[in-house]
A and B are shown apart, each in its own frame.
Chain A
Amino acid sequence: MRRPFSALVPLLLLAPGCPGDSGQGVRIERIDQRSLVRVITADDAKVLDPHVTSDGGNVKVINQVYETLVQLDPQDSGRLLPELAESWTVGEDGKSISFRIRTGVRFHDGASLDAAACKLSLDRARGADFELPTAPYRSMFADIESVEADGQRLVVRLAQPVAGVTLRNLSMFAASIVSPRLLEESRRQGGADAASAYVTAHAAGTGAYRVDAFDPAAKVVRLVANEESWRGAPQIKTLVFQQVLDKRVRHEYLRKAEGTIVVDDVPRESWDELRSSPRLALKTWWSLNVCYLGVSGVHPKTREPEVRRAIQLAIDRQAILPHYKGTARPTYSLVAQPMPEYDPELRCGDWDDNLAVRRKRARALLEAAQAIGREVTIYYPNQPRPYLPEPTEIADAVRHSLKEVGLEAKIQGVDKNVLFPGIATGEYELVLIGWTTDNAHPDNFYGPLCDGEDGVPSEGNVSRVFDPEVHAKIVAARQLVDDAQRVAAYREIERLLQDRVRGYVPLVNTQVALAHSKRIQGIEVNDMGQYRFHAARLVD
């Protein structure tokens, strides 16, 4: 009898690890579940090199592994707290910051923390040392002229007196302090890609957790407690990050709530159900974000100031709110509503609280500009964002507002990889978009979204207008250290932008949420939604 596949048998016997093979086995044991937390996220981590990424999925893991010189106070994002720097002083001219670096701190790979280690990382983050494949946050450190290290003393010298903004930038994950041993080793990997991949593969910071397993292709991210953390050993011993892309499946995880879990990007439709859950707690807060309609000041369809003013007057914010299911509020400034620079009294020019009156004025302005019946398109990102949970529905509500005053508005969803370059080249007349601040400083709204340099608008500036007066005021406001003066300066900038440039219409400020098992207490969450587990504990 012919046995055609018998030829395969020897191959199978040669396969490694076959039964009867005396090769060594790998011992696999069930992980202790008593002190383990699973973190369910909508985005996955692919890179653990803090100086080359801007992706939220990466940042969630990076925040557990790495630390910065200073951190934002989770209770009050207006305040800074010491982290790897025990203390700091700002020079009298505002052009230098002197840090005293914490002693006795060790990186996960055993290297010691000192000022030289901090200098190496900061020089890498700002592009003064090392070649990086890309550095999305490098511009945030452009004011740093030099970094000097002496024992535990670190001095950051600035080109401008902008110590306040710089300190906030240094609190961001992009200024994480990475083990100097790891960075020096990465130099020997041959090329920027390989060096960065090496930093990811051997991540070593000073954070409360170190990497136990990181395999982005297999979607495995497991962190274990850093028992030698300078804060003391964390009580939760293992963190496992799991990406669940589909929000319906994420909802299933929430519904079933197996084990001890933390879920971010909680679908808004689950919030009410979660509030009455016996096993899960829902933490919600007003995020430091804004959803706005960007209006081009140079595009032929919205070039006339009257048309842009009409658009500002026409929008009915109340019609947008139902799409947020009670988790948003109308907002009237670009800066996030929870920040002190937000002006609750701001109502520019011919504003009227009565929508019908406003729309009448809007229509008159459009008539004067001979723009009644003009076709305009509202472009928007087709993937949901925290400030834009239902992009198409919200864009449609805005479209309806514009139609009410005589503009023939259409909507067009666009992939973010198309949208951002399109904004940078001024392709769009209207863009429905939003922003969440990186550092809780108003400059992080007005700088990237309304300003520019050398007469050229920044890439995120939808209006594509560079206004020299606004620019001068933004530059001056960055240098202010007195709280009252700073608040007044930014409120004036907001008024000027809305009255003169008319490059955006602020729409809403939204809440965001984190759901977690009630057994987990003490998760530290800041206003931008960044969370850490070093102080978290499990209770019965």
Chain B
Amino acid sequence: MRHFLRRLVASAVMLLGVVLATFLLHHALPGDPAAAVLGKHYTAADAHALRERLGLNDPLPVQFARYVGDLLRGDLGTSHVSNHPVEEDLARVLPATLELSVCALALATVFGVGLGVVTALRPRSLLDLAGLTGSLAGVSMPIFWLGLLALQAFGKGGLLVEASGGAFGGLPLGRRFNPAEFPLDQLSGAPGCTGLLLYDTLFVARSPAAFRHVLEHLLLPAIVLATVPTAVVARITRAALGEVLLQDYIRTARAKGLSELRVVLRHALRNAAIPIVTSLGTLFGYLLGGAVLTETVFQWPGMGTYVVSAIRDLDVRPLQACVLLVAVSFLGINLFVDLSYAWLDPRVRRGSTS
């Protein structure tokens, strides 16, 4: 319990630091937000009036107090470009990023752990070497380059489509869905809808065709986004499992005549799970905040695209809100990971309850 409280207090202090950092962030950026709105018709008088309206002419402490006050009221502010409340925008873009990140994390978990287990069971084999090389390549490849490559190969009209002679039709070139094909925007705000299109199309709209359409759009960006986490998870699983497999109790389990599958899954993998779960938690935070490049290449209308747009327009409030949201997610995930240790490792639980 004390461990939990200590972590909670540390998280609160970090949150305060993040609030201050996000506030100072836009003051560190060069340029005048008014120029983004006024464009080539920028005039000093209009820019001054706009800055006055946004409160940017006030002293920094006054601006900070107002910012914190707004946050405490749950008001994330208004975009000075679209004049739209930021929380409404986030409610639109967050499910898109969440859906993409969760799918990428699921892929990374299944394939990363699988690859890690296989390579750990055959250390220094050709398979292990191939796994290691694959993981290294996965970690090293720039995401935007991989994204463009994937589009060239698997996208509609891509190289593999042409090579297959039309047997493989190719995947969509980007976006979450094609508004020219399915009006899935009509699901937004409809009763029962969550904003997660896989769920909404299947369970609310009950349209298998729309579900398939969404899945096709999701596949390529999710695979590309999953590349780095898959490689990381594979390497961590291999290292952790490799160490556990050398322990005496594993030898004992094998001597008792347990099947290799049972030994690995029931005894070894569970004990190797702490670093894997820790990495998955951190990776989920990375996926939420780091999907910017993938979202840009695939024109995925999520938080990454929203942030890029806000940076381009020096749109202060959306930028602050997104940074804050990612930071809070990281803090929450880390807290969750800490707590999950207790379940995975009884020693931690005993230590925390004593």
Give the B-binding residues of A (Cβ under 8 A).
4, 15-19, 21, 23-31, 33, 36, 38, 44, 46-47, 49, 52, 54-55, 133-139, 192-194, 196-197, 200, 212-213, 215-222, 238, 240, 242-246, 248-249, 252-253, 255-256, 258-259, 415-421, 424, 435, 448, 458-460
Contact = CB atoms under 8 A, between A and B. Distances in A.
B314 A219 contact: no
Nearest to B78: A193
5 contacts: A49-B83, A220-B185, A222-B180, A242-B175, A244-B174
B299 interface: yes
Given A46-B82, A245-B299, A23 B192 contact: yes
Q: Which of A30, A417, A420 has most chain B Cβ within 10 Å?
A: A417
Given A26-B190, A200-B83, A249-B299, A421 B207 contact: no
A187 to B, nearest CB: 15
B205 interface: yes
A245 to B, nearest CB: 7
B205 A28 contact: yes
A418 B30 CA distance: 6
B194 A16 contact: yes
A31 to B, nearest CB: 6
A455 B52 CA distance: 25
B33 interface: yes
Contact of B83 (A196, A252, A419, A458): A196
B272 interface: no
B205 A424 contact: no
Interface string B28-43: 0011111111111111
B284 interface: no
A103 to B, nearest CB: 34
Nearest to B206: A25
Q: Which 3 A-B pairs have the closest CB atoms?
A: A17-B192, A417-B31, A256-B157
Contacts of A219: 175, 299, 301, 305
Nearest to A195: B83
A200 B301 CA distance: 19
A136 B82 contact: no
A31 B187 contact: no
Contact of A137 (B41, B176, B297): B41
Given A26-B204, A415-B30, A259 B179 contact: no
B14 to A, nearest CB: 27
B173 A249 contact: yes
Contact of B148 (A138, A221, A248): A248
B257 interface: no
Contacts of B176: 218
B82 A460 contact: no
B181 interface: yes
Contact of B296 (A24, A38, A245): A245
Interface of B: 30-44, 46-47, 49-50, 53, 78, 80-84, 88-89, 92-93, 96, 148, 151-152, 155-157, 173-176, 179-188, 190-194, 199-201, 203-207, 209-210, 296-297, 299, 301, 305-306, 309, 313-314, 343
Contact of B96 (A4, A218, A258): A218
Contacts of A256: 155-157, 173
A15 B34 CA distance: 43
B84 A216 contact: yes
A248 B343 CA distance: 48
A249 to B, nearest CB: 7
A23 B205 CA distance: 11
Given A16-B191, A258-B156, A424-B42, 6 more contacts: A28-B182, A212-B183, A217-B89, A258-B157, A416-B35, A460-B42
B249 to A, nearest CB: 20
A28 B184 contact: yes
Nearest to B172: A258
A38 B50 CA distance: 35
Contacts of B203: 17-19, 21
Contacts of A24: 191-192
Given A134-B46, A137-B41, A244-B299, A249 B185 contact: no
Given A4-B343, A136-B37, A459 B42 contact: yes
Contacts of B47: 421, 424
Contact of B92 (A27, A135, A217): A217
Given A216-B82, A245-B299, A420-B35, A28 B46 contact: no
Contact of B185 (A27, A139, A213, A242): A213
Contact of A238 (B180, B204, B299): B180
Nearest to A21: B192
Contact of B84 (A26, A197, A221, A419): A197
Contact of B93 (A23, A26, A27, A218): A218
Contacts of B83: 47, 49, 52, 133, 192-194, 196-197, 200
B174 A36 contact: no
A174 to B, nearest CB: 9
Nearest to B47: A421
Contacts of A26: 186-187, 190-191, 193, 204-205
B200 to A, nearest CB: 7
Contacts of A421: 31-32, 34-35, 42, 47
B181 A460 contact: no
B96 A17 contact: no
A47 B81 contact: yes
Given A27-B205, A424-B44, A252 B155 contact: yes
Nearest to B205: A28
B43 A459 contact: yes
A460 B179 contact: no
Nearest to B144: A246
A155 B182 CA distance: 46
Contacts of A15: 194
B30 to A, nearest CB: 5
Nearest to A4: B343
B311 to A, nearest CB: 10
A238 to B, nearest CB: 7
A252 B84 CA distance: 32
Nearest to A423: B42
A19 B83 CA distance: 38
A253 B39 CA distance: 28
A218 B42 contact: no
Contacts of A448: 40-41
B299 A213 contact: no
A118 to B, nearest CB: 23
A3 B288 CA distance: 28
Contacts of A238: 180
B317 to A, nearest CB: 11
A28 B180 contact: no
B206 A215 contact: no
A33 B178 CA distance: 12
